Structure 1
Amino acid sequence: MKRILFAILLVGLSHTLLAQNDKARQKIESAKIALISERLGLSPADAQQFWPIYNEYSKKRRDNHLEFAKARKNFNPETATEQETQNMLKLGREVKEKQLNLEREYSDRMLKVLDSKQLMSLQNAERDFKKMLLNRLDQRRAQQQNSNEQLRRQNNERMRNKRNN
């Protein structure tokens, strides 16, 4: 019975975490859209043309990255053969080449909507957003470590108090 309750609790918790991840992703995406929109200063007509192109580009870029991430996840350099290692290096080059081709193709498409200064602003906005996101993640990790350290100290103090009483 305890095992069944524990399994139900785990399933419920995993669904909650997945929902939170979706909400977090949506918040991040909304913040990115806001920053890019602010930096580019698009007219409503330009925004209507720009966002479908940019969203398509972002999806293809993400898919390209995930393809390599999956292969890398299954790759163990400690046990890989020489051929497997060479295949992984080749795949890495192919992914980078694909990324460069995507940038070329979509830069050309975006230049039909944006001027060159706006395209540069887009690239800077993406880079700045990534930096901001990484900084926030670092801050959260540091806060989490501080919280964990405080909890450890409190638990140690409780244990000492129990032993002394």
Structure 2
Amino acid sequence: MKRILFIAAIAAVFGGFSQSPEALEKIEAAKIALITERLELTPAQAEKFWPIYREFGKQRQDIRRDFDQARRNFDPNKASEEENKKMLEMANQVKERQLKLEREYSNRILKVITTRQLNNLRKAENDFKEMLLRRIRAEQMKRQKQRRNDGRLNDRRN
């Protein structure tokens, strides 16, 4: 049954990929299905695991967002040597914060799942990212091909 739900979730996500809120919810559902399947979470584990994992994801996202905002208006070619040094230091601080966060949440998660499951979690996250990136690239190529075909069709009509 889990495998059927997982396959259905993945198909739903990749059947209509876009950046709409509904699509993002489908992507999240597919990620949850993949992780649940790969970790073979028991219902008791899942009940404790998912709140911790969601909290971890939010913390990770906050760290990335803070750094992205700082980088948004930064141009290393126009920045002074001092500004470039500050940005490098900020990047190192972000990496340190991410590592600290990873350690903290790994310890919390290990109170709920096994070390094998934690290792599988990291693999599942990477596999999901790869799968999503492949799908995005495929969609982009499909759109480019469609545009080229539409352009050729318009040329023939004229």
Partner Cα separation in structure 1 for residue 76 and residue 155 of structure 2: 41
Q: Determine which structure has more spread, i.e. the larger CA radius of gyration.
A: 1
User: AA paired with 1:62?
Assistant: Q
| Counterpart position of 2:24 | 25
User: AA paired with 2:56?
Assistant: Y
Q: What TM-score, normalized by structure 2, do the two folds share? A: 0.86
Deviation beyond 6 Å, 4+ runs, structure 1: none
Residue 20 of structure 1 and its aligned partner are, at CA, apart by 5.5
Q: What TM-score, normalized by structure 1, do the two folds share? A: 0.82
Q: Write out aligned runs for 1:1-12 (5 A).
A: none
| Alignment pair present for 1:102 and 2:101 | yes
Residue 74 of structure 1 and its aligned partner are, at CA, apart by 1.1
Partner Cα separation in structure 2 for residue 25 and residue 68 of structure 1: 22
Unaligned runs of 5+ in 2: 1-17
For 1:9-35, what per-residue CA distance to the aligned partner results, in whole angstroms no more than 9, with x for missing partners? xxxxxxxxxx95211211110000000
| Alignment pair present for 1:37 and 2:49 | no
Pair 1:20–1:123, CA change in 2 (3 A) = closer
Partner Cα separation in structure 1 for residue 67 and residue 154 of structure 2: 43
Partner Cα separation in structure 2 for residue 136 and residue 41 of structure 1: 25
* C-alpha RMSD of the superposition: 1.2
| Counterpart position of 1:55 | 54
The percentage of aligned residue pairs carrying the same residue is 49
| Counterpart position of 1:16 | none
Partner Cα separation in structure 2 for residue 29 and residue 94 of structure 1: 28
| Counterpart position of 2:133 | 134
Partner Cα separation in structure 1 for residue 93 and residue 85 of structure 2: 12
